[in-house]
Amino acid sequence: MNINTIFLFLLVIAAYLNLYLTFNTKKRKKTTKLPISSKEWSERVEHESFKSWISNREKLKAKRKEDINH
């Protein structure tokens, strides 16, 4: 076997290995599409926290009024 044939064979193997590794990393890098973005999630959590804070504040005000009236 000629030395050029061996180098050609090694070059073909390296090309296929490179192609395989390229497609393999593309498969792994696929990200899952989330149903809601992190910004929307944080806004929702802040909104729920704010609503909870408002309702607790109103309950405390009502309780204070009851305590003052009694």
Give pLDDT tens digits for 16-41.
Answer: 999 998 888 766 666 667 777 778 87
- In this structure, is residue 54 part of a structural domain? yes
In the block, tokens 């061996």 appear at 6
Tell me how far the alpha carbon of residue 13 is from its chain's centroid: 37
pLDDT, position 41: 79
User: What share of the chain has pLDDT > 70, as a percent?
Assistant: 87
- In this structure, is residue 55 part of a structural domain? yes
**Structural domains of the chain, count:** 1
- In this structure, is residue 32 part of a structural domain? no
| Mean pLDDT calculated for residue range 37-65 | 86
Q: Which has the higher per-residue pLDDT, 70 or 4?
A: 4
- In this structure, is residue 11 part of a structural domain? yes
Tokens of 55: 């309702």
pLDDT at position 65 over 90? no
- In this structure, is residue 53 part of a structural domain? yes
User: What share of the chain has pLDDT > 90, as a percent?
Assistant: 26
Instruction: Give the structural domain span for 15.
Output: 3-26+39-69
- In this structure, is residue 17 part of a structural domain? yes
